[in-house]
Chain A
Amino acid sequence: MSQPDTKFGEYGGQYVPEALMPAIEELTEAYRRYVLNNEDGFMDEFYERIRDFGGRPTPLQYAEQLSARYGVDVYLKREDLLHGGAHKLNNALGQVLLAKYMGKERIIAETGAGQHGTATAMAAAHLDMPCEIYMGRRDINRQRPNVFRMRINGAEVTPVDVGRGTLKEAISETMRDWARTVETTHYVIGSIVGPAPFPAMVRDFHAIISEEIREQSREKLGGLPGAVVACAGGGSNTMGAFADFLEDDDVRLYAAEAGGSSLTVDEEAGVAPHSASLSTGEEGVLHGARTKLLQDGHGQIMESHSVSSGLDYSGVGPQLSHLVDEGRVTPVAVDDELALEAFHRLSQAEGIIPALETAHAFGFLESVAGPDGDGAVDLPETVVVNVSGRGDKDLEAAIEETEKRTLENAPTMEVFEG
C-alpha cells in the first residue's frame, strides 16, 4: 500500500488551526485510499474524465523557430490546449472528484490569475457540485475574463479586500471559510502548497504531464529530453512537469521564477518586487507548510510582485524547496521585461500566445541562449518547455505592461487607440 508523503526533508508538515486537522486527516485517508491505491477505481475514473472532458493527452510539439533561435531542439508540452486553457484542470478535476467520493457537498477554492478558479468552476459544474471561489480584489481587476468565466460556469466569486488583494490573501481567506465549513466542504487548493497531504496530492494529479512527456519523448526523440523547463509560482505545473523525471539524473530540471522588477527587497515597506522564493526565500511557515518564503527579518510575510498574477505569491511548494536544496531542481529568476518579450516572441514565432506565467519559462531560454544570452547555462540538445497555459486571459495586462516599456519585439497597439 502506498503511503502519503507529508514531509520533504524538513519542509512540508501541517501547520494549520486545530479545527482543520480532522478534515486534513480525513483527506489524507481519502488520498491514500482513492488516489494512491485506486480504491473503487477512482484513478480509472479520473483518467477517463481528464481524457474525455479535459482533452488529454496534450501534444508534445516541436518548436521550429525557437529551435533555430537557440540551436537546440525545443519541444513544447501543450498544457495550454487542456480544457480551460491551462494545466490547472488536472488538479481541479482530481480534487473535485475526490470530494465527491468523500461525500462532501460543497467546493471552495482560491485563485490568483483565475486559472485555478476557472478550472475548479468547470470541474464543479461538470461534477455537479456548488462552488465558491475567493479572489483578491486586485487580481479580479487584472483578470476580468476569468472572473466572467467562473461566473458563467455557475461559481460564486467572492472578492478578498484584505492586504494587497492577491493570491496570499485569497488563500488565507479560503482557509478561514474552510475552518467554518469543514464538515461539508472540500477546499480545492490550487497549487502544491498548503498542509500535507495537499502538496503531494496536487503533484500526483499533475504528474500526468511528466508521464506523458516521458512517453511522447520516447516516441519523438527516441529517449528522454536533456532538460525540462517550467515556470514556478506555487509550483504546480512545475512539479507536474518534473515529477516523473526526479529519478532520471540526466534530465535537468529548471524552475523559472518571477524575478519581477528587481531581486532586491524593501524591508521597511515589507515588499519584495519579485516572487522568487526558491532563489531568494528563507525557510519559514506559511499557509500550513514549512517552505521557502519571502519574509522580513521578523518573520512577517512580505508582499510579492510579478507582472503575472499566477506567479505572484510569497511562498512556494515545500517539495520544490527541498529539491532545490538537494540540487535536483535549479531555480532561475526571470524578470518582468524578459517575460513580456518572451510573451511576444512565442506569439510571433510559434503562433502560441502563452500565459504571462508561462512566458517566464521561455524568458529563461532567451536569457541563456538568445542572441544577447549570457550563456550561463549550456542548454542540452533537447529541451522540453511546459506551456502551462494560454494567454487569452492576459491580453489586457500584457498590452498595458508592454506600453509601459520599450520592448524590441512588441507589436504596435495603435489600433486600440481612439
Chain B
Amino acid sequence: MSRDGERTESAASADPRGTDGSERADADGPDASGSTLEAAFDEPAFVPYLAAGDPDFESSLEYVEALAAGGADVIELGLPFSEPIAEGPTIQQAVVRSLEAGMTPERFFEFVDALDVEVPLVCMTYYNLIYQFGPAGSEPVRPFVERAAAAGIEGLVVPDLPAEEADLLRGYCDELGLDLVFIVAPTTAGDRLHRMMERVSGYVYVQARLGVTGARDDLSDSTEGTLERLEGYDVPKAVGFGISTGEHAEAVVAAGADGVIVGSALVDIVARGHENDEPAEAVAAELESLSRELKAGAVAGAKRTPRPEGT
C-alpha cells in the first residue's frame, strides 16, 4: 500500500484529546476537499469486498490484488469479527476461514501494509474490535483509527454502529483524516436519515434490501426509493447487498447509483476455490474476470441514463 505521508504526520501531531466527537465540524456534509474515497466515484465505481486473510494470508493478498487489476475503484477489506450479525452465510464462512487461519486486527494491518495496490482501501469491521484495539488501559477507539491511518486505510464501515453511537469514532476519524461510511437501509428515512447524512463521509453505503449480505439472482426494487431519498445529499451513493453480475451493476447505476458494492459473489469464488483446492492463480483470475464484468456493467449503466451535472 502506498503510504500517504501527510496523513500519517497529521495523525502523529494530533492533540490526543482534541475531538470528543460530540459535534461534526462540517455539519453541512462531508468535507469535499480531502476525500480520496469521494474522488474514486468520479466515474461509476466498482467497490468489491473480500474478507482479509480468507482463506489464508498469502492467497488473500493475491485475491485483493486481482480485484484491483480487474478495475476496482475502492476496495472494502473485511476485518473478521467472531459475531458478524449483519452477514449472511457466505461471508460468515469467510470470517470463519480467515479467523481459523490466524487473522487478528494487528495481522490485518500487516496485511494492508503488504498489499501492492494503488486503490483506496476501506476497512469493514465490527465495533468491538475497534473498541478493544490497543494496549491494555489505553483509551478506546483512538488506537485503532491511528493504526488504520498509519496503514494508509482511507475509511471505515462499521455495520453494528448506528449514527447514534458513532460520535466518538467520527471524532477520531475527522482528527486523523479517515472517512466514516454509513449504511443506509431501505427502512432509513426522515430524521434518522438526516442524522446519518450529517455524519457520513467518503460515500454512503446504500443497502439494497432488508436482511443480511449475500448474492442474489434478482435485484431489489427498494433501491430506487432509497436513492430518491438520498437525492438531496451531495455524497456518492454506492449500492450493495445482493449484486452479483454485470447486469445487476448496470441496472443499479442506471437507477442513479454512483457505484456498486459487491461482496458475497466474490467471496463465493474464494470459497469454491478453497473447497476444490484450486491454485490461487486460478481463483485470482476468476476474481479479476468477474471484477471486469462488474466494472463494465457499472460504466454501461451510466451511459444508459445520462445523469444530471454534479451527481
Contacts and interface: CB of A to CB of B under 8 A. Distances in A.
Interface in A7-23: 13-19, 21-23
A183 B186 CA distance: 11
The 5 nearest A-B residue pairs measured at CB: A299-B132, A180-B211, A19-B185, A300-B82, A22-B187
Given A21-B185, A162-B92, 19 more contacts: A14-B164, A16-B85, A17-B160, A17-B183, A18-B183, A18-B196, A19-B183, A19-B185, A21-B188, A168-B83, A176-B85, A282-B132, A284-B131, A285-B131, A287-B83, A298-B104, A298-B129, A298-B132, A300-B129
B165 A176 contact: no
B99 interface: yes
Interface of B: 81-88, 92, 99, 104-106, 126-129, 131-133, 159-162, 164-165, 182-189, 192, 196, 207, 210-212
A17 B160 CA distance: 5
B162 A21 contact: yes
B183 A15 contact: no
Contact of A23 (B82, B187, B189): B187
Given A18-B182, A19-B207, A295 B165 contact: no
A267 B214 CA distance: 31
Contacts of A14: 162, 164-165
B82 A19 contact: no
Contacts of A181: 210
A44 interface: no
A17 B99 contact: no
B105 A298 contact: yes
Contact of B128 (A23, A182, A285): A285
24 contacts: A14-B164, A15-B160, A18-B159, A18-B183, A19-B186, A21-B185, A23-B187, A172-B85, A176-B85, A176-B212, A179-B85, A182-B187, A270-B82, A284-B128, A284-B131, A287-B83, A287-B85, A293-B128, A297-B132, A298-B104, A298-B133, A299-B105, A300-B82, A300-B129
Nearest to B104: A298
Q: Which of A15, A183, A284, A301 has the most CB of B within 10 A?
A: A15
Contact of A15 (B99, B132, B165): B165
Nearest to B187: A22
A173 B33 CA distance: 41
A226 to B, nearest CB: 38
Contacts of A288: 160
A162 B212 CA distance: 15
A286 interface: yes
Q: Which of A19, A175, A293 has the most CB of B within 10 A?
A: A19
Interface in A297-332: 297-301
A179 B188 contact: no
A392 interface: no
A282 B140 CA distance: 13
A286 B83 CA distance: 8
A25 interface: yes
Contacts of A297: 132
A15 B192 contact: no
